[in-house]
A and B are shown apart, each in its own frame.
Chain A
Amino acid sequence: MDMTYAGAEPKVARRKRSAIARYAAPYLFISPWILGFLFFTLGPLVFSLTMSFYDWPVVGVRSFVGLDNYRSMLFEDPQFWESLWITVKFAAIYVPFNIVMSFLLALMLHHITFASGFFRTAFYLPSVISGVALVTIWSWIYSKEYGLLNFMLSFVGIKGPNWLGDPNLAIVAIIIASLWGLGGTMLILLTGLKAIPKELYEAATVSGVPGWAQTLFITLPMLGPMLLFTFITSIISAFQQLTIALLLTKGGPLGSTYFFAMYIYDNAFKYFDMGYAAAGSWVMFIIVLLLSIAVMRWSAAWVYYEGEVRQNDGEHNA
């Protein structure tokens, strides 16, 4: 196997180069990532897994407790289940809405030409800002007396509720605020739509296939890989939901928006129980991993990869 630079090169030059340079070059180029992986990913992962088997306060004596953290979390800590349930509820609503709405918006944008750039920008704009600014903006929209939302509702004769003060509505408020940032997902799907060959639709139209059936049997399958990608990234981000809840509702009212990520955060940086928090973060990791694998398995039924064999493009054998 030739381990040199992938391109063809003159024999003389090849012989001249020292063996070290020859083997080392590619590793030198990727070394920033390798070091980063060791110090900022693998190291922390091993460290947190170790911590999860310890009673590990920030200061003071740490002691090995085996699976105790996991056991007491699963069987003695009602907050674990409550926060997990809130997160699952959030994900179960946010993820489908995020994808379906992004898809519909992308579909609409795909069917217009005039001012399409303007609308695309409008939908993407909220994704450019995020976190703190997004939360401050939405905290006024939801304000009970002076909020924009309740003012709008008053037009249609609805007396606006106290969005952030009602345990049933606060999570809805967070979902809406999160959906405001769907621009990234929409953009990915829009790019996917543009990549579908026009001939497919032309052929279908000639054969008399109606528009809705074309969407169902051409667009959706062709968009499969991108839908899968957005599906998985949406799930991961839904489970990590922290900033908006931390700043908009602080987990309340009555713990109704106390997400799983906030539960981990509090255990670590409020109660300084690092081992317990690390165990919680591993539970989250495992859940996210299992969900992603399940989605990928399930997707095999509906994702169609065009030209499955496109390995190693852009490179030759020497």
Chain B
Amino acid sequence: MRKTVLYSALILLSALFIAPFYWTFMTAIKSTAELYQFPPVFWPSEWHWENFAAAWNKQPFGTYLANSVIVVVLSTIGQLISSSLVAYGFARFRFPGRDPLFILLLATMMIPWDVKMIPLYMEFNLLGWINTLKPLIVPAYFADAFFVFLLRQYIMTVPMEIDEAARMDGANAFDIYWRIHLPLMMPALVLVGTFHFMNAWNDYLGPLIFLNDQSKYTLTLGLSMFKGLHEVDVTSIAAITVILCLPPLALFFVAQRYIMDGAVSSSVKG
């Protein structure tokens, strides 16, 4: 009896969370006639797959996609390398200033982006990076506090004896990082890569502030501009939205195991 109530509530609530996705997809694939029917059409009589291609060709979305892919791929590589190196440094060495530096690293997570947004704009302007993809890529090569924390927690669960055995065999500190910890960290790296991919792919404010030319737009910026110009072209906006949602959703399903497993707990427990 209690279970029945619980499951009924869960089904209803999960429907609320999924319905918007369903609705967007159906909006994208409906005919124009069915779009403005009332009561709304929940199951279209015809599926217009060509709506996707039509929407895609209304603006240089191919260029936007290419820019998004460049940003996401290059920044993810940077994030994985830099954050894992820093995490290893904090996890496996003792050195003067380690603990204060680590606390400083944690404290940087509390700084609102708004404080950094204006000076960063000026800084990148000075470097001549405005209207290039560099501001969206380069900072990822300098480690992210949250990811360092997450990876450090992970390295700490690996017994020290493994490092010591490798050291006996003549491995230096970098070998131990490269040949032992990096492979062992794989689940955590998948998690970091997934989270970073999603952040970079979904980022709107960064591209909005740092990019001016249409030829430099990422997909999120392209969609928002498209939406501003063609407010009434609901089908196309929905189609692009669906396309925009697909990569993170696909990645999520692939990496789900790592996201749902204990990795989250290691990130929160001190």
Q: Which of A5, A28, A188 has the most CB of B within 10 A?
A: A5
Q: Is the CB of A281 within 8 A of B268?
A: no
Q: Is the CB of B142 within 8 A of A261?
A: no
8 A Cβ contacts from A168-191 to B:
180, 187-188, 191
Q: Given A2-B94, A10-B168, are A284 and B115 also a contact pair (CB < 8 Å)?
A: yes
Interface-forming stretch among B15-23, B50-58, B69-77? B15-23
Contacts of B17 in A (CB 8 A): 122-123, 125-126, 180
Q: How far is the CB of A53 from chain B (nearest CB, A)?
A: 13
Interface-forming stretch among A71-79, A131-139, A198-206, A212-220? A131-139
Q: Given A3-B94, A10-B168, A128-B198, are A226 and B268 also a contact pair (CB < 8 Å)?
A: yes
- Interface presence of B270 (CB below 8 A): yes
In the bound assembly, the distance between CA atoms of A146 and B42 in angstroms comes to: 12
Q: Is the CB of A27 within 8 A of B114?
A: no
- Interface presence of B103 (CB below 8 A): no
Q: Which of B23, B82, B115, B244 has the most CB of A within 10 A?
A: B115
Q: Is the CB of B111 within 8 A of A105?
A: no
Q: Is the CB of A5 within 8 A of B92?
A: yes
8 A Cβ contacts from B107-150 to A:
108, 110-123, 139, 141-143, 145, 148
Contacts of B256 in A (CB 8 A): 121
- Interface presence of B156 (CB below 8 A): yes
- Interface presence of A41 (CB below 8 A): yes
Q: Is the CB of A33 within 8 A of B86?
A: yes
Contacts of B96 in A (CB 8 A): 1, 3
A149-172 Cβ-contact flags toward B at 8 Å (1 or 0): 001000000000000000000000
In the bound assembly, the distance between CA atoms of A3 and B194 in angstroms comes to: 35
Q: Is the CB of B114 within 8 A of A281?
A: yes
In the bound assembly, the distance between CA atoms of A2 and B98 in angstroms comes to: 13
Q: Is the CB of B89 within 8 A of A29?
A: yes
Within 8 Å by CB of A25, from B145, B168, B173, lies B173
Interface size class of B (residues with CB under 8 A): 35 or more
Q: How far is the CB of B82 from chain A (nearest CB, A)?
A: 4
Contacts of A239 in B (CB 8 A): 112
Contacts of A96 in B (CB 8 A): none
Q: Is the CB of B112 within 8 A of A39?
A: no
In the bound assembly, the distance between CA atoms of A33 and B7 in angstroms comes to: 46
Q: Is the CB of B252 within 8 A of A29?
A: no
Q: Given A120-B260, A269-B209, are A40 and B139 also a contact pair (CB < 8 Å)?
A: yes
Q: Is the CB of A264 within 8 A of B114?
A: yes
- Interface presence of A100 (CB below 8 A): no
In the bound assembly, the distance between CA atoms of A112 and B2 in angstroms comes to: 11
Q: How far is the CB of A68 from chain B (nearest CB, A)?
A: 17
Chain A to chain B contacts (Cβ below 8 Å), 19 pairs: A2-B94, A7-B163, A30-B90, A32-B86, A32-B142, A44-B120, A44-B123, A45-B111, A117-B260, A118-B14, A130-B202, A132-B204, A132-B224, A133-B245, A136-B241, A146-B35, A146-B40, A265-B117, A288-B110
Query: Lowest 5 CB-CB distances: which A-B pairs, in order?
Result: A36-B142, A29-B89, A314-B156, A26-B93, A44-B119
Known: A40-B120, A281-B115. 16 other contacts (CB 8 A): A9-B164, A10-B168, A32-B141, A33-B143, A40-B142, A124-B252, A124-B259, A125-B249, A128-B249, A146-B35, A195-B265, A268-B117, A281-B117, A285-B111, A314-B91, A314-B158
Residues of B near any A CB (own CB < 8 A):
3, 6-7, 9-10, 13-14, 17-21, 23-24, 27, 35-36, 38-40, 82, 85-86, 88-96, 98, 101, 104-105, 108, 110-123, 139, 141-143, 145, 148, 155-160, 163-164, 167-168, 170, 173, 177, 198, 202-205, 209, 220-221, 223-224, 227, 234, 237-238, 241, 244-245, 248-249, 252, 256, 259-260, 262, 264-265, 268-270
Residues of A near any B CB (own CB < 8 A):
1-3, 5-10, 13, 23, 25-30, 32-37, 39-41, 43-45, 47-48, 51, 105, 108-109, 111-112, 117-126, 128-133, 136-138, 140-141, 145-146, 148, 151, 180, 187-188, 191-192, 194-195, 225-226, 229, 232, 236, 239-240, 242-243, 247, 261, 264-265, 268-269, 274, 277-278, 280-282, 284-285, 288-289, 292, 305, 310, 313-316
